[in-house]
Chain A
Amino acid sequence: MSTQGSGPAIEVEGIVKRFGEVRALDGVDLVAAPGQVLGLLGPNGAGKTTLVRILATLLKADGGSARVLGLDVARDAAQLRRRIGLAGQYAAVDENLTGLENLTMVGRLYGAPRAQARARGLALLERFDLLEAGDRGTKAYSGGMRRRLDLAAALVASPPVLFLDEPTTGLDPRSRLSVWGMIEGLVADGTTVLLTTQYLDEADRLADTIAVIDHGRLIARGTPDELKDRLGGERLEVHLDDGADTEAAVRVLTPMSDEPPSSENGVLEVSIRERSGAMVEALRRLSDAGIEVDDLSLRRPTLDDVFLALTGHAAEADGQGAEIP
């Protein structure tokens, strides 16, 4: 948390939101400094979308307070709307309009004259690699194109604060990468971003600070490195041949990790310190000891690993509809 003269860009204190009996948010505190990317990580139903909707002035909280750019999200909502951008989980573009018409409409609703809104729309289309498709109806856009257009629509007024609600959910890996690149470009321009995600790798790549949320409560907060330290980095999974000496395998692989490898039914899991060379080293150690290996793979820690490490249970959807659409 830096102490820049302008104060934090996003400041959330003890926010509570109830939907009937369900406490979608149960006293969440958050801070994001200007220019920072705050990643809100959690499973479906954790309360991420509810928090974004409160911060974007779409929903009123039942308790606590939240300020964005020093403006209270409830009292100063009208003023705040000029200075925030929102790109939602469901790419909110009008399917019957073209890409350019969508952006022009949003620009005009911000109060810009038609010609100016159109020029801004064209510039954004170019930036988001949609210029060629700009005159086509968005009904024909791919999921990735729609998401990019949605992101562009959120940027029409060049807002200093941007809320991105699961910006890559449902996208194929290539589109994901391109959306990530675009978010990184925005951050480089100084935009403050609050990003919700279910993917640890996404939070890891984009966020300066990650807040982990579960059942409406914050259960951990830190830099990606701090969180990964608690997780123990990447996993090496070793499937031993039938009849191989599991204990011997654990013994030879222990030096590769800070914590003793776990073993279950002939499958060893080792939290490795260093990715590069890990597979080769593990294989060499095992074959030197005469242990036969059936399969060997590296895998990044997932949201489930985070939750297992933080709460002792796997991430689970709430199932009670706390995550309202």
Chain B
Amino acid sequence: MRRLIIDTAIIAERNVIRLRRAPELLIGFTVQPIMFVLLFRYVFGGAIRTPGYSYVDYLIPGIIVQNTAFGGFATALGLNDDVRKGLIDRFRSLPMSRAAVLAGRTLSDVATNALSMTILLVTGLIIGFTFHAAFLDGAAGIGLLLLFGYAFSWVLAFLGLLVSSPETVNSVGFIAVFPLTFISSAFVPVPSMPDGLRQFAEVNPFTIVVDAMRHLWIGAPSHHDVLGAVIWSLAIIAVFAPLAVWRYRRAAGG
């Protein structure tokens, strides 16, 4: 157990250094979220009705949840790269904890998620977002975001180990993540969607997490409570962590 914690920290540190050295990745986690916030706030915002709330208050919790889904791409691309370049072979030939490569990878996503979350939130505050919540609720929201982002990293870890090239990671990842995040309550109220999409959006975990965030940050009444969002996060980890470990063993030829 001690080994697992130490090795996980070593691998996570390596990934954070990597992020610092690969500016193109960092741009994805900083500039891109700002761009999305501005586009939605000023291009779409005027046309979207969100009764009871200004669009910027409605948008920020939604877009910040969507953004956590993209944090996992660092894991997907990084693992994919490690397998192709033979680094996984090196790690597996070392007397280190087997689980640490994946655990360290997903853990470093928490750091990148925290970074882009901060940037998003500051941008939001500048363009008019206001908390309508107690301090503790606000903090709980941040905790929930990090937990959900961590859970989603395992989905992308699985993806990164499943496909053979970074290009495929990107295309498959975006094809999966875009509909999943847009057909939710993140940007528009679900009742405005046509049949079919609406039912999907209602059960979409992204809707559940976004609703929980709005409840925590702007005091919106929620059909789904925060507990539901936590349970979804834990369920995603419970399913995708073993899948990712299974693929990792296979990718590494063990």
Contact = CB atoms under 8 A, between A and B. Distances in A.
Nearest to A85: B93
Interface in B78-128: 84-87, 89-96
A43 B135 CA distance: 67
Interface string A35-69: 00000000000000000010011111000000000
Contacts of B84: 325
Contacts of B18: 94, 96-97
Interface SS, A side = loop
Contacts of B6: 108
A63 to B, nearest CB: 17
A269 B96 CA distance: 55
Interface in B1-28: 3, 6-7, 10, 14, 17-18, 21-22
**Interface bin, chain B:** 20 to 34
Contact of A97 (B3, B14, B94, B254): B14
Contacts of A58: 89, 92-93, 252-254
Contacts of A94: 14, 18, 87
Interface string A127-155: 00000000001000000000000000100
Nearest to A54: B253
Given A105-B14, A109-B7, A90 B85 contact: yes
A95 B22 CA distance: 10
Contacts of A97: 14, 17-18, 21
A219 interface: no
B254 A60 contact: yes
A96 B89 contact: no
Contacts of B86: 88-92, 325
Interface string A73-113: 00000100110111011111111110001000110111100
Contacts of B87: 92-94
Nearest to A109: B96
Interface of A: 53, 56-60, 78, 81-82, 84-86, 88-97, 101, 105-106, 108-111, 137, 153, 324-325
Interface of B: 3, 6-7, 10, 14, 17-18, 21-22, 84-87, 89-96, 252-254
5 contacts: A53-B89, A58-B89, A58-B92, A81-B93, A108-B6
